[in-house]
């Protein structure tokens, strides 16, 4: 039987794997080999999704030492959108990025239950879609979508 931590991650990852976007975007999972997608000649970077799991401190909900705890955290799905593409589509790129981020958020509605093995992870509230930003010389705009979850185990 998998640990609580493993079950939470697998529940979240399973839900990400059912995300359908048009056009489809590749997904970079933590600690898995990934090469950002490219196409064309000359080569152009393509958008993709980057997944991060940010577990938080657990909370003891009951007095008994063997009673369930509340496990909380954030699943962060970041749209990575090439700066070069955005600069050639002034005005359209921002709307495109926000639309994709909105579709990601809609895939994780408040109250969504994601069962796996010994537990069910629940989406705590509507996901937060942050403003796009660029990190230094990174050739991508980043638009984070933060999905807060909890489960009892």
SS3 at position 67: coil
Q: What does the pLDDT read at residue 42?
A: 87
Q: Residue 61: which pLDDT band, with cuts at 50, 70 and 90?
A: confident
In this predicted model, which residue has the larger pLDDT, 44 or 90? 44
The answer to whether residue 62 scores a pLDDT higher than 80 is no
Q: What does the pLDDT read at residue 48?
A: 98
Q: What does the pLDDT read at residue 89?
A: 61
Range 81-91 burial, b when 16+ CB lie within 10 A, else e: bbeebbeeeee
What kind of fold does domain 4-147 have according to CATH? STM4215-like (3.30.2000)
| pLDDT > 90 fraction of the chain, expressed in percent and rounded | 75
> pLDDT tens for residues 114-148?
999 989 999 999 999 999 999 988 999 999 999 99
Residue-range domain boundaries for the chain: 4-147
Range 20-27 average pLDDT = 94
Bridge-based pairing of strands 128-129 and 140-152 is antiparallel
Query: 21 and 107 in contact (C-beta within 8 Å)?
Result: no
């Amino acid at each position: 039987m998998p640990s609580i931590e493993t079950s939470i991650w697998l529940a979240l990852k399973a839900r990400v794997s059912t995300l359908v976007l048009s056009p489809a975007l590749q997904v970079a999972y933590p600690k898995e080999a990934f090469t950002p997608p490219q196409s064309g000649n000359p080569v152009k970077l393509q958008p993709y999704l980057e997944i991060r799991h940010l577990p938080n401190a657990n909370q003891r909900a009951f007095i008994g030492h063997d009673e369930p705890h509340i496990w909380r955290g954030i699943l962060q799905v970041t749209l990575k959108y090439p700066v070069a593409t955005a600069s050639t589509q002034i005005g359209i790129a921002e709307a495109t990025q926000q639309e994709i981020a909105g579709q990601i958020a809609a895939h994780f509605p408040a109250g969504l239950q994601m069962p796996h093995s010994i537990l069910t992870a629940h989406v705590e509230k509507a996901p937060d879609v942050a403003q796009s930003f660029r990190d230094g010389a990174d050739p991508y705009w980043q638009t984070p979508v933060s999905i807060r979850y909890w489960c009892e185990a």
